[in-house]
Structure 1
Amino acid sequence: MTKLKVGVVGCGSIATHRHLPEYFQNKEVEIVAVCDVVEERATAAAQKYNATAYTDYQQLVQQTDIDAVSVCTPNYLHAPVSIAALEAGKHVLCEKPMATSREEADNMILAAEKAGKVLMIGHNQRFVASHQRARQLIEQGDLGKIYSFRTAFGHGGPEGWSVDGASSWFFKKDEAFIGALGDLGVHKADLIRYILGEEVTEVSAFIESNAKQNSNVDDNAVCLLRTESGIIGTLAASWAYVSAEDNSTIIYGEKGIMRLEDDPVYSLVVQYKDGSTVNYELGQIQSNESGGQTNTGVINHFVESILDNKKPLIDGDQGKQSLEVILAALESHEQKKNVQI
């Protein structure tokens, strides 16, 4: 059987810890090309996976033996690389946030439609077992009417994760466009939309850059969100949770409270109004701190979507809707007002 031939653009931490090993584990895939502006990184990845090394992504996407491309670059390159790959007839898996503006996101979606290719955004929180079970329980009415939520994603910052440490692109506005909100907050915006099965329609936000030196992007943000049915809640994103990561979500409903990734043993705990509690041991959420993810589910889903010719769970439209929440938060902070989506 012919394998799906894949190229990876960007050989930093997200590629070396997630995309490349997960493609390598997938029996349907052959890694044929890698690219990085730092030649040593591209060469090291190429040697490890027996691939061809490039330093120019334009050259990689033009290769006729490549079927699909992972975009693992700094945020400002997500749209240009994705569009170039789509226009060259490749399927694309792009890291989050998918773009730095609505216009870029729209252009990516349009390029995918024109090419008739899969465009998927790497929102891995949708593949976490506790999150999938929570969505299912809410959908079937287990909590009754949902009133409120709070969700947070925070850790000590990307300097411990990024291949460039404290001098990483994550801290540079011209390359990152946005800080903790884009790195972590957009994950939770996507998660809340997914779990509740509703769109966010209104956002208010406080955003600060008060924790990191040599940085000109946000490192702490707290947002108030309202959904289309009137569910209200908070979303916090931070690079200043110095002693431990927080990746928890709490859902408050008519019949009980649901705690996701909030307990050291049980990844989902449902506390019912009648006093009963149900603990779900579904495996802990994998994080950078826990030695890296062995399998996020993202790569396998992308590959499956291509081979089965079906729309991925997080296509361009879904990626854009989650980006919209973060763009609205920025606008709210700048204009000191609530912003409608």
Structure 2
Amino acid sequence: MRIGFAIIGTGVIAHVHARALLKNKNCKLIAVRSENKERAEEFAKKYEIKAYIDYEELLKDKDIQAVDIVTKNNKHAELGIKAANAKKHVLVEKPIDTNLDRAEQLIDACKKNNVKLGVISQKRFDKAILLAKRIIDKKELGKIESVKANMKWHRTKEYYESSGGWRSKQDTSGGGVLIIQAIHYIDLLSYLLGDAQSVKGELSYDYKMEVEDGVHAYIKFKNTIKAEIEATVTAPKTMPDTIEIKCEKGNILLYSHNGIHILKIHSRNLLKQIKNIRYLLYIKKGSIREQIKDFTDSINNNREPFVTGEDGFKTLKIILSIYKSAKLKKEVKV
């Protein structure tokens, strides 16, 4: 069955979602909605779809079975709840919201109305991540000893102040680099390592904005594993993202840069190291297109999406705990 989608929002990421929907044979892009009439009509003309200004009117459209929400972070749950109450499936960009209570209300609304809820986290679809997850779950390299994630990007202050400056404002974005960019790696650590127990973090404000441009945090997981993450957008140039996992019988290195993803596995067992040399490869990265395909399939086959609302909630809870820790200058429970 082809699922009719409406995109809610017209920013840069909305075009990425539109192209992904158009390439999926089980999706049909029906409409777009923006509070700005000119932007809505321009977007609709480009993709030959309907334009809506009134969200309530869009939700009455029987050709639409699902909404894809790509608006400002603080509007995600509010718009998602309205869609769920109109019996529309909900796919929302990360973060699920900027507030845990609203995020929980969105999850409850989708369950109550028997509609699917997915949160965009396309990096979970990376083949390298999926392989690393399998190795960790099977304990092929033994007990994990330490984990470190690094994200050093170059984003200007103007980037945060563009599109009306919503990314630079605490009330609309929820924060800076932590909730906008580093959220990908917080989410991957949660996916790979399990439930978090406590965090300790500090933030930096080199750009002198309302929101942070750097974060350094430690996450303690319930299985006693400890992970460290450093992320910034003030690097002179964007460097490769890495996740290094040291285990008692070897190491896993996940490396990502300019669309190239490499998984390197080193085992202290020589025979296993030779066997695993094939993993030192260029591995297909995950994509929004892949996640939309999974979400559509979850609707058609009445199953849970690969990334659920609960997954998005867990990631947001870790992020908000890091913000709390930085404010209180001490370790806090998640």
- TM normalised by structure 1 equals 0.90
CA distance in 2, matches of 1:152, 1:57: 39
Q: Is the 8 A contact 1:35 1:56 kept in 2?
A: yes
1:201 pairs, out of 189, 197, 203, with 197
CA distance in 1, matches of 2:157, 2:12: 11
Equivalence for 1:5: 4
Equivalence for 2:215: 221
CA distance in 2, matches of 1:307, 1:232: 39
What do residues 168-212 of structure 1 show as CA deviations (whole Å, max 9, x unaligned)?
Answer: 31112221121111012221121012122x1111100001221x3
Unaligned runs of 5+ in 2: none
CA distance in 2, matches of 1:255, 1:59: 58
Q: Secondary structure, in 3 states, of the residue corresponding to 1:6?
A: strand
Q: Is the 8 A contact 2:321 2:333 kept in 1?
A: yes
Q: Is the 8 A contact 1:13 1:161 kept in 2?
A: no
Equivalence for 2:187: 190
Return the letter of the residue paired with 2:233. Answer: W
Give the Å deviation of 1:48.
2.3
Equivalence for 1:246: 240
Q: Is the 8 A contact 1:158 1:165 kept in 2?
A: no
CA distance in 2, matches of 1:55, 1:157: 31
Give the Å deviation of 1:161.
6.9
Give the Å deviation of 1:242.
3.0
Q: Secondary structure, in 3 states, of the residue corresponding to 1:96?
A: coil
Return the letter of the residue paired with 2:283. Answer: G
The verdict on how the C-alpha distance between 1:28 and 1:166 changes in structure 2, with shifts beyond 3 A counting, is closer
Equivalence for 2:249: 255
The verdict on how the C-alpha distance between 1:270 and 1:161 changes in structure 2, with shifts beyond 3 A counting, is farther
Unaligned runs of 5+ in 1: 287-292
Q: State yes or no: 1:267 paired with 2:262.
A: yes
Q: Secondary structure, in 3 states, of the residue corresponding to 1:297?
A: helix
What do residues 90-145 of structure 1 show as CA deviations (whole Å, max 9, x unaligned)?
Answer: 00001111111110111011100111000100011100111011001111222110
Aligned CA-pair RMSD: 2.2
CA distance in 2, matches of 1:144, 1:99: 36
Aligned residues between the structures: 328
Q: Relative to structure 2, which stretch is displaced further, 45-54 or 78-87?
A: 45-54
Equivalence for 1:44: 42
CA distance in 1, matches of 2:90, 2:108: 13
CA distance in 1, matches of 2:34, 2:265: 45
Q: Is the 8 A contact 2:81 2:106 kept in 1?
A: yes
What do residues 249-269 of structure 1 show as CA deviations (whole Å, max 9, x unaligned)?
Answer: 111101111100158976100
Return the letter of the residue paired with 1:64. Answer: K
Q: Secondary structure, in 3 states, of the residue corresponding to 2:330?
A: coil
Equivalence for 1:306: 299
The verdict on how the C-alpha distance between 1:168 and 1:296 changes in structure 2, with shifts beyond 3 A counting, is farther
Q: Secondary structure, in 3 states, of the residue corresponding to 1:261?
A: strand
Give the Å deviation of 1:151.
1.1
Equivalence for 2:99: 101
1:95-244 equivalent positions in 2, closer than 5 A: 95-157=93-155, 165=162, 167-196=164-193, 198-210=194-206, 212=207, 215-244=209-238
- TM normalised by structure 2 equals 0.91
Equivalence for 1:289: none
CA distance in 1, matches of 2:306, 2:190: 12
Q: Secondary structure, in 3 states, of the residue corresponding to 1:312?
A: coil
Instruction: Flag as ranges the 4+ runs of structure 1 deviating above 3 A.
Output: 158-162, 164-168, 262-266, 274-277
The verdict on how the C-alpha distance between 1:303 and 1:144 changes in structure 2, with shifts beyond 3 A counting, is same
Q: Is the 8 A contact 1:159 1:166 kept in 2?
A: no
Equivalence for 1:26: 24
